[in-house]
Copies of this chain bind each other. A is one copy, B any other.
Amino acid sequence: MRRIACALLHHPVLDRGGAIVTAAITNIDLHDISRTSFTYGLDAFYVVHPVTAQRELAERIREHWVEGSGGRRIPDRKPALAQLRVVDSLQAALADLGDDAELWTTSARRVGEHVLELPAAREQLQTPGPAVLLAFGTGWGLAPSVHAAAQAHLAPIPSVRADGYNHLSVRAAVAILLDRLLGNGAAR
Contacts and interface: CB of A to CB of B under 8 A. Distances in A.
A160 interface: yes
A30 to B, nearest CB: 11
Nearest to A175: B172
Interface stretch (A47-55, A74-82, A146-154): A74-82
Task: Say how many copies of this protein the assembly contains.
Answer: 2
Contact of A188 (B167, B174, B175, B180): B180
A187 B185 contact: no
B41 A161 contact: yes
A interface bracket (residues with beta carbon within 8 Å of B): 35 or more
Contact of A171 (B32, B157, B159, B182): B32
A105 interface: no
Contacts of A41: 160-161
A176 B183 contact: yes
A119 interface: yes
